[in-house]
A and B are shown apart, each in its own frame.
Chain A
Amino acid sequence: DGGITQSPKYLFRKEGQNVTLSCEQNLNHDAMYWYRQDPGQGLRLIYYSQIVNDFQKGDIAEGYSVSREKKESFPLTVTSAQKNPTAFYLCASSSGRIVDYGYTFGSGTRLTVV
């Protein structure tokens, strides 16, 4: 079945460390997105990519980095510069066609800084 796979499901990081969250899709979708979900704050966009080798900052990109070297993969690195990284991270994809902007979501990665 087609879908989005996020790994790991739970991740613990020590302060000062960078960590990379994986997101892989086999839907042949052009566009991929990273959102952060905090309790009571909904989803906030970190980065998005509409095509391979291109990506744009979202509303809360500071302290994060991404790459899009392959269509199916969009990893997110949470750097030590991110002041409050403990959160639930969601990856999503869409076909990119204007008539089909609905997202398919992964199951998320819960990151905790210890």
Chain B
Amino acid sequence: AQSVSQHNHHVILSEAASLELGCNYSYGGTVNLFWYVQYPGQHLQLLLKYFSGDPLVKGIKGFEAEFIKSKFSFNLRKPSVQWSDTAEYFCAVNEGTNAGKSTFGDGTTLTVKP
């Protein structure tokens, strides 16, 4: 079965620090990859997604992620975090043939200190 690993359960940064959240998955075939974010008191929402093409994808609010097929990774990055980025972040993976069914990582809680 597909599995998704997020290595950091809780990350604490100061404003303006750079962010990288790790995500690794186990499936060796074609995948679609996602990062979702849940801000305090809000719905889970899509941050960015990779389907095909350029492995560096850009999302909302200055986030980007890089798909490295050889490493089965899809790490999330932001050059300079803000206090408003405090949230829980989830990585998710669809196997290419499993239309729509996503497997999620356990999530990473990011706390940004002002």
B-binding residues in A (CB < 8 A): 31, 33, 35, 40-45, 48, 50, 58-59, 90, 92, 94, 96, 98-99, 101-108
Query: Which of B36, B94, B99, B106 has a CB less than 8 Å from the CB of A40?
Result: B106
Give the number of chain B interface residues (Cβ < 8 Å).
25
B105 and A94 form a contact (CB under 8 A): no
The answer to whether A105 touches B100, judged by C-beta atoms less than 8 angstroms apart, is no
Having A41-B106, A42-B6, A45-B102, one finds 9 other A-B pairs with CB under 8 Å, namely A33-B101, A40-B9, A42-B105, A43-B90, A44-B104, A48-B101, A59-B1, A101-B32, A103-B102
| Main SS at interface, chain B | strand
Q: How far is the CA of A23 from the CA of B7 in the complex (A)?
A: 32
Residues B45-59 near A (CB distance < 8 A): 45-46, 49, 51
